[in-house]
A and B are shown apart, each in its own frame.
Chain A
């Protein structure tokens, strides 16, 4: 995946670029809004990571300008402002995701990968991972042909995980996308929901599909 990181803090930008390169991605850097805009207009990127407060042209304007020119490269906004209304402002300006500082790299990586993959825009009606099947229209879930009965929220949780099958999703991403909450619930309530779901889809099968990624989140994948 090719990334453009527009961030004026040199240290933070270098650290991010290095970390992305370590996991096998290509990362370009831009130190201010003007340079970032020029790069984004020229190059082919899968995801833009844009700091909200930038010298010369601020982050939201950069994204707004790109969108007005018909460039739909997914953009993730990094910001020191983390409140709900700031997030809404960021998304309204054309951002696709919003991550308040300070963030962990695993969280940023997971979100970036989801954004890059989303570009295909393929919305299937049936998700399949191994022998697990989820039908989004009939709300039916089967594993190896046997029907699994899920609560509505469990269904949406599984739906989100399967939509991003093979990709790590973090607890915050689940809380935001499945529950639509953007606050920190203090205790790891998500873990308990996951373990319930796991007991329904993995219990009694030799092949586990739902995995915990330590220090990052969860991933549903067929390891065979």
Chain B
């Protein structure tokens, strides 16, 4: 806890300090990062754990030492009281005298019942010790110790049968030294753990921070309007990489959307202004030249017709933009593509028949897709409409049979294919990808009505549903295929 408050204090201090400039600010930035705060939390936990471990070790060792001392003292008391029993006080005094002269940390004292010392190596004791038989921890001074230093000892006072008292004890220096060692070890290891921990934390944090800074830099560039920028990926596959990858996918999507938006506005500018100009010219011409009511009426009628075509183009454009932005995804349910094929086929069959084309539908089995019935129907309707317009261009076949359009819905593995195949002129391979683009009307179709958006709309709807529109050669003729993921199969985001 003291650590983190110290850290925040230094970061707070760094903020107004201009003399150290950037480095201090950068340091403050590091201190504020999540990684660094996390390091501090880990550090605290680790220190507490180490302190507990050390404390437990010290406590156990101390207990062991104390146990050893009491055992030794008990043994000596047993030995000495045996001497007393055999040879009386004289023998005891002699024995104590002999033992007192030995070097070591043992203490001995024999006193008369009145408390006068007879033998031993104890100089002075805390008062009252001799009056209380049993174990005591006390301060004492040795006889041979002249420098006056006080020591501590664990002593046992034993009352002999005749009223004499025997005191045996052992110096606790060993135990105190152990405490000092443990404390020193604790201090050092704490210091080392903190230094290494903080240094490690700073190191890791700086590395992470550097990567995040690089990301921020790119993001700032992107915010300034450069949508081509992508976040750097270190290639380690860690969480930052995954974040960067996802953000990059998001950026790609945004870029595509922006691109689409720009294209729509460009197209609106280009392809709506032309018919609008035509409309206006026609009105001006009528005002200038028309002489009677019927001519005005004719001019007005063409104006309405033109405006209707304009509205149609405009609606198709909005529809494409909407499909491409993915907004229509909210209204998707499971729909049967076979039913859509039958519905659209049924809608267009009389029209085809009218133009001398046989329109056939092959949709025997249910073909479930997750989608928007209206949009898929409209996409398929556009393809059928195209097939009727351009597929009949060949006229009747050489053998006199009626030209044919086949609308098919079938499952193929995990895909559902909606196919419209005609026997017309088809689209030359080189032009096929261009035909799907907005407003492209190939040379052969200029004379026919239409916004030129039918195929683009079908393609946009297919993409919205996670599928695609393919144009293929039908030998002869064109085969347009809308390929959609089968419902129930997990689909990748389009």
User: Given A88-B331, A186-B382, A181–B311 Cβ distance below 8 Å?
Assistant: no
In the complex, A178→B56 CA distance in Å? 87
User: Does A187 interact with chain B (Cβ within 8 Å)?
Assistant: yes
Docked-complex contact A183 and B374, CB < 8 angstroms = yes
User: Does B350 interact with chain A (Cβ within 8 Å)?
Assistant: yes
Docked-complex contact B377 and A183, CB < 8 angstroms = yes
Question: Looking across the interface, which residue of chain B has its beta carbon closest to that of A196?
Answer: B350
Encode B447-484 as 1/0 by CB contact (under 8 A) with A: 00011001000000000000000000000000000000
What is the minimal beta-carbon distance from A166 to any residue of chain B, in angstroms?
26
Encode B337-362 as 1/0 by CB contact (under 8 A) with A: 00000010011101101100000000
User: Does B312 interact with chain A (Cβ within 8 Å)?
Assistant: yes
Name A's interface SS. loop
User: Does B224 interact with chain A (Cβ within 8 Å)?
Assistant: no
User: Given A83-B322, A88-B331, A181-B374, A189–B347 Cβ distance below 8 Å?
Assistant: yes
Docked-complex contact A185 and B381, CB < 8 angstroms = yes
Encode A148-183 as 1/0 by CB contact (under 8 A) with B: 000001000000000000000000000000010111
Docked-complex contact B350 and A193, CB < 8 angstroms = yes
Question: Looking across the interface, which residue of chain A has its beta carbon closest to that of B347?
Answer: A189
Docked-complex contact A187 and B312, CB < 8 angstroms = no
What is the minimal beta-carbon distance from B353 to any residue of chain A, in angstroms?
8
A-contacting residues, B302-323, CB 8 Å: 304, 307, 311-312, 315-316, 318-319, 322
User: Does B385 interact with chain A (Cβ within 8 Å)?
Assistant: yes
User: Given A83-B322, A84-B331, A183–B346 Cβ distance below 8 Å?
Assistant: no
A-contacting residues, B358-407, CB 8 Å: 372, 374-375, 377-378, 381-382, 385, 388-389
Docked-complex contact A84 and B350, CB < 8 angstroms = no
Name B's interface SS. helix
Question: Looking across the interface, which residue of chain A has its beta carbon closest to that of B322?
Answer: A83
User: Does B330 interact with chain A (Cβ within 8 Å)?
Assistant: yes
User: Given A85-B330, A153-B346, A183–B381 Cβ distance below 8 Å?
Assistant: yes
Docked-complex contact B312 and A186, CB < 8 angstroms = yes
User: Given A88-B331, A187-B388, A179–B315 Cβ distance below 8 Å?
Assistant: no
Q: Write out the residue numbers on chain A whose beta carbons fall within 8 Å of the beta carbon of B319.
A: 83, 183
User: Does B328 interact with chain A (Cβ within 8 Å)?
Assistant: yes
Q: Write out the residue numbers on chain A whose beta carbons fall within 8 Å of the beta carbon of B347.
A: 179, 181, 185, 189
What is the minimal beta-carbon distance from A67 to any residue of chain B, in angstroms?
23
Docked-complex contact B328 and A82, CB < 8 angstroms = no
Q: Write out the residue numbers on chain A whose beta carbons fall within 8 Å of the beta carbon of B372.
A: 84
- The count of A-to-B residue pairs whose CB atoms sit within 8 angstroms is 61
Interface range, B side: 20 to 34
Docked-complex contact A186 and B351, CB < 8 angstroms = no
In the complex, A183→B374 CA distance in Å? 7
In the complex, A136→B318 CA distance in Å? 40
Q: Write out the residue numbers on chain A whose beta carbons fall within 8 Å of the beta carbon of B330.
A: 85
Docked-complex contact B351 and A189, CB < 8 angstroms = yes
User: Given A83-B322, A85-B328, A184–B374 Cβ distance below 8 Å?
Assistant: no
User: Does A102 interact with chain B (Cβ within 8 Å)?
Assistant: yes
User: Does A192 interact with chain B (Cβ within 8 Å)?
Assistant: yes
Q: Write out the residue numbers on chain A whose beta carbons fall within 8 Å of the beta carbon of B350.
A: 189, 192-193, 195-196
User: Given A83-B319, A187-B388, A192-B354, A179–B343 Cβ distance below 8 Å?
Assistant: yes
What is the minimal beta-carbon distance from A25 to any residue of chain B, in angstroms?
23
Q: Write out the residue numbers on chain B whose beta carbons fall within 8 Å of the beta carbon of A193.
A: 350
What is the minimal beta-carbon distance from B391 to any residue of chain A, in angstroms?
13
User: Given A182-B374, A183-B378, A185-B381, A85–B312 Cβ distance below 8 Å?
Assistant: no
Question: Looking across the interface, which residue of chain B has its beta carbon closest to that of A85?
Answer: B331
B-contacting residues, A124-146, CB 8 Å: none
What is the minimal beta-carbon distance from A66 to any residue of chain B, in angstroms?
27
What is the minimal beta-carbon distance from B258 to any residue of chain A, in angstroms?
21
In the complex, A67→B413 CA distance in Å? 50
What is the minimal beta-carbon distance from A6 to any residue of chain B, in angstroms?
24
In the complex, A187→B450 CA distance in Å? 8
Q: Write out the residue numbers on chain B whose beta carbons fall within 8 Å of the beta carbon of A186.
A: 312, 381-382, 385, 450-451, 454
Encode A79-98 as 1/0 by CB contact (under 8 A) with B: 00011110010000000000
Q: Write out the residue numbers on chain A whose beta carbons fall within 8 Å of the beta carbon of B304.
A: 104
User: Given A186-B382, A186-B454, A187-B385, A102–B374 Cβ distance below 8 Å?
Assistant: no
Docked-complex contact B351 and A192, CB < 8 angstroms = yes
Q: Write out the residue numbers on chain B whose beta carbons fall within 8 Å of the beta carbon of A153.
A: 346
In the complex, A187→B386 CA distance in Å? 10
Question: Looking across the interface, which residue of chain A has its beta carbon closest to that of B389?
Answer: A187
In the complex, A88→B319 CA distance in Å? 16
In the complex, A3→B354 CA distance in Å? 41
What is the minimal beta-carbon distance from A215 to any residue of chain B, in angstroms?
8
Question: Looking across the interface, which residue of chain A has its beta carbon closest to that of B379?
Answer: A183
Question: Looking across the interface, which residue of chain B has its beta carbon closest to that of A188?
Answer: B351
Q: Write out the residue numbers on chain A whose beta carbons fall within 8 Å of the beta carbon of B389.
A: 187
In the complex, A175→B351 CA distance in Å? 15
What is the minimal beta-carbon distance from A155 to any residue of chain B, in angstroms?
13
Q: Write out the residue numbers on chain A whose beta carbons fall within 8 Å of the beta carbon of B328.
A: 83-85
B-contacting residues, A170-224, CB 8 Å: 179, 181-187, 189, 192-193, 195-196
In the complex, A85→B322 CA distance in Å? 11
In the complex, A132→B312 CA distance in Å? 37
Seed contacts A181-B374, A183-B378; 7 additional CB < 8 Å A-B pairs = A83-B319, A183-B374, A186-B312, A186-B382, A186-B385, A187-B389, A189-B350
> Interface of A with B (CB < 8 Å)?
82-85, 88, 102, 104, 153, 179, 181-187, 189, 192-193, 195-196
> Interface of B with A (CB < 8 Å)?
304, 307, 311-312, 315-316, 318-319, 322, 328, 330-331, 343, 346-348, 350-351, 353-354, 372, 374-375, 377-378, 381-382, 385, 388-389, 450-451, 454
What are 5 A-B pairs at a CB distance below 8 A? A181-B378, A183-B319, A185-B381, A186-B382, A192-B353
Nearest 6 A-B pairs (CB), nearest first?
A: A192-B350, A183-B378, A192-B351, A189-B351, A84-B374, A186-B385
